[in-house]
Structure 1
Amino acid sequence: MKRTLPLFSAVLVFVFAAAARAHEGYPDFDWDRVPLYAHLSIGNGLTAEQYAFLADHYDLIAFQAGGRIDGPIEPKIAAGARAIKKRNPRAKVLFYWSCDLMKRPWRLSNAAFPSDGRLTVAETRSDGVYFDVSRTDVRTWWSDVAARAVHEYGCDGIFVDGAGTATIKWRRVTDADKVAALQEGLSAMLIEARKKMGPQAIIIFNPLHGDDGKHGPLGEQLLSITDGAMMDDFDRAPEVRDPGKEYLAAEIEEMRKAANMGKIVVFKGWPGFTWWSDPELLKKPHDELHRIAAERISFPLACYLVGAGRYSYFCYTWGWLGEHGTFDRYPEFEKPLGPPKGEATRDGWTYRREFEHASVFVDLEHKTARIEWR
């Protein structure tokens, strides 16, 4: 208990401070058109044309690793942040930073990982290195990298992957007492990162999930000490794993709650397939994949619009590489939207919501939607 009380007190102090600083450092936001977020691997760097596209179409962008990468990823993300901000100084660029598992491309960061900071696990489904975030030295190392992301690499904050589901992973590999210590450590680590990054730095975690009937809402407890979250699992690969109308409704409700707290919410929409769920489809030409995604955009986009609030963003791709849709455009993104005229109304499994220039209808039971633009 000597460890628990100071950590708990620190969290309470931080929560009140976070409420006072809400929206400082947030990206520009308006309802003129669908607010968009980009999340993609920077690989070995993008082309000048690709950086220009991102800067022109997105005000919130996260860079991660993926595909072939030569050398450490950190300088590549720094170069990407500079390129984006040169063309669009208003844009906010986030540095992808896993909170639970070591990722190999982060070579500069991993080099300083404490030699005995690895979580000792009873069994695991992978050979990955779990961070023991109950340790002070691990939290210091992790938060130092977060600080470098802002002060050295020129990013505006961090995208903290794995935070919302970390507890589920920990429960698979260690005992209940250790899980409790890790949960406390994660909160303390995020607070420490904020202090080192500065009050205007952004912390977005992933994932935030609605109640799936098994685990309850995931990540909700982290909203009070972060700036928001990505919801990455909305109807992701229904042909492989149909989420059901109950879970989709829970996702929309979780999004609405977070948005009403003034949090940044990234709603990750999928076109009914991903890079892993349909490998045969992925062999088709990109233009064909884009055509299919265009045919299927109405349902995820309408669901986003039903739950969206100020600082809610839509992300629509079939994976995390640039070739998975980040550089594609859709007619819906060019249409005037305007602010919502109120909250959505619900009748059973259907929702309706009015915007200045659009009327939105969603039927979760039949997975149909209609957006009437005007």
Structure 2
Amino acid sequence: MNKSVRMLNYLFLVTLFCSSLMAQNSCVLSDGNTFQSKEFYPKFSWEVTPQYFMFGDGTRLLSSKEVATIAEKTTFICIEKNHAQKTLKYAEIGAKQEIAAFKAVNPEIKALFYFNSAYAWPFTSYNENFTKKNIYQHPELKKFLIKKPNSEELEHRNNIFQFDVLNPEFREWWVNTVAKGVEFSGADGVFIDQMHGFVWLRNEKKVEVEKAMGEMMTNLKAKIGPDKILIGNNASSVTDVFPAIDAAMFEHYNAKKLSKESLLKEWAEMLNNAKAGKMSIFRIGVEAEWDNAQGVEATVGGKHKPSEKELELLSKERLEYYQACFLIGAQPYSYFQYGWGWKLSTGPLVDYPELLKPLGAPKEAYKRTTPKGWEFTREFEHASVWLDTEKKEAKITWKN
């Protein structure tokens, strides 16, 4: 073989290698634009299905083995609202210790604190007096809560009180409190649950509620700093909140959220998030299928409250469908969260081999097989995805 041929072969191999490397690190959106990442975001890769984990165990900390198991699968996590509260008294201490444990395993992991903007969960030291037993001894806190119409009685859901976002003093307290939790726990940012501000309790003040939520989230982002991640749950279409966040979760908490119409809408929102330089988290909880009698009968044979083992079995049976639902709409910096709840015991420790199969970057945007049909396809470097959201069926063909 002469020198020029060897050189051509070498250049071909280099080109092939570089193309493969670019595909793995591609930030190209499905519409041809480029994702504008930020230095404080987690590292993103299409090597396997990118995952986000959010979990808690109110009774204890994770074992070193459990930390290692999760850290092997993701570099993006959130410690849920009541983690280790019964052991350590306050959830922010549980978050602090857990975040340190994950950072010791992988210093590059991005770990988030949790706080709620609507419900006064009494798991942290900041919220411990928002209880029926204590709240009436703390008028300075009671004024932050929503009252029932024409009454001094407080609104609640299962004795969990409800924050009044229309109170400017509350908004200031809340921003300072969340920022304190982020700093204390050593978190890389925060996941904020509930973007609604209980607007349905005061529809006549809808505009004011929405603006107050936007102001509060904007002030929080400024308070925690420009290098901290702010995630808003179901915030992609919340106009006043959207500019403040770095990421939005799509939480599929009931059967309606899993409808074919909802999924199609969310794929468009995932693209819009990416075009704005914001991450997306596509959270599937298979427990939502139990809202659908046909889904129950088709899986474990009866409409009853499922056991943990039944839900784990269901999650494994339905993984291909929900993984396909994510992959059809996934953009750079889109993450998949899968399980059947928010606890450590509801998915994070389950082995799902398909989520660790080589994926590679998408080669194209998804295709809709007919203009008004519900079948979709998409090609990735190492996988071909077919999805029918009307029949709730899917097939992922792995190429190697």
Which blocks of at least 5 consecutive residues in structure 2 are unaligned?
1-35, 130-137, 297-302
Q: How does 1:34-53 map to 2 (within 5 A)?
A: 34-43=49-58, 44-53=60-69
CA deviations 1:227-281 (Å, max 9, x no partner) are 1111111xx554xx68542223223322232233321111012336579998956
Partners of 1:60 and 1:243 in 2: CA distance: 24
Distance 1:326 1:220, change over 3 A: farther
151, 155, 166: which one aligns with 1:134: 166
Q: Do the aligned partners of 2:358 and 2:382 also contact (CA within 8 Å) in 1?
A: yes
What residue number does 2:217 align with?
190
- What is the distance in 1 between the residues matched to 2:226 and 2:235? 23
Contact 1:272–1:296, Cα closer than 8 Å, also in 2: no
Deviation string, structure 1 residues 72-117 (Cα, Å, up to 9, x no partner): 2110111111111111111111111100120011233455974422
Match of 2:70 among 30, 37, 54: 54
Q: Distance in 2 between matches of 1:220 and 1:341?
A: 31
Matches within 5 A, 1:90-109: 90-109=108-127
The alpha-carbon distance between structure 1 residues 109 and 66, as it changes in their structure 2 partners (threshold 3 A), is closer
Q: Report the AA paired with residue 75 of structure 2.
A: D
CA positional deviation for 1:68: 8.0
Q: Which residue is 1:215 aligned to?
A: none
Residue in structure 2 matched with residue 333 of structure 1 by the alignment: 355
Query: Does the alignment pair 1:154 with 2:173?
Result: no
Change (3 A) 1:360 1:176: same
Q: Which moved more, 1:106-115 or 1:294-303?
A: 106-115
> What is the CA-CA distance between 1:290 and the residue it aligns to?
3.2
Identical positions, percent? 30
Q: 1:289 to 1:114 in 2, by over 3 A?
A: closer
Alignment map for 1:1-374 (pairs within 5 Å): 23-43=38-58, 44-66=60-82, 69-70=85-86, 71-110=89-128, 114-122=141-149, 124=155, 126=157, 127-163=159-195, 166-167=196-197, 169-171=198-200, 173-177=201-205, 179-208=206-235, 218-219=237-238, 221-233=240-252, 236-238=253-255, 243-271=258-286, 273=288, 280=304, 282-283=306-307, 286=309, 289-347=311-369, 348-374=373-399
**TM-align CA RMSD:** 2.8
- Normalising by structure 2, we get a TM-score of 0.76
Structure number, greater radius of gyration: 2
Q: Is the 8 A contact 1:51 1:84 kept in 2?
A: yes
By how many angstroms is 1:359 displaced?
0.9
Matched residue type, 2:316: A
118-127 or 48-57, which moves further after superposition?
118-127
Cα deviation digits, residues 145-171 of structure 1 (max 9, x gap): 2222332210011111001xx15x322
* Contact 2:214–2:241 under 8 Å retained in 1: yes
1:114–1:141: 8 Å Cα contact kept in structure 2? no
Aligned residues: 336
Alignment partners' CA distance in 2, 1:350 and 1:290: 27
Hey, what's the Cα distance between the residues in 2 that align with 1:268 and 1:317? 8
8 Å contact from structure 1 (residues 298, 369) kept in 2:
yes
Distance change in 2, residues 1:23/1:190 (3 Å): same
Deviation at 1:120, TM superposition (A): 3.0
Q: Is the 8 A contact 2:54 2:342 kept in 1?
A: yes
Q: Which amino acid in structure 2 is aligned with residue 335 of structure 1?
A: K
One-letter amino acid of the structure 1 residue matched with residue 242 of structure 2 = L
Task: From the superposition, tell whether residues 27 and 137 of structure 1 become closer, same or farther in structure 2 (CA, over 3 Å).
Answer: same
Q: In the superposition, relative to structure 1, how do residues 274 and 40 fare at CA in structure 2: closer, same or farther (>3 Å)?
A: farther
Q: Which whole-Å CA distance do the structure 2 matches of 1:80 and 1:121 have between them?
A: 38
Q: Report the TM-score when normalising by structure 1.
A: 0.81
The verdict on how the C-alpha distance between 1:364 and 1:81 changes in structure 2, with shifts beyond 3 A counting, is same
Query: Take 1:140 and 1:195, find their aligned partners in 2: how far apart are those partners?
Result: 12
Q: For structure 1, which segment, 86-95 or 183-192, has the greater mean C-alpha deviation from structure 2 after superposition? A: 183-192
Deviates more, 1:252-261 or 1:354-363: 252-261
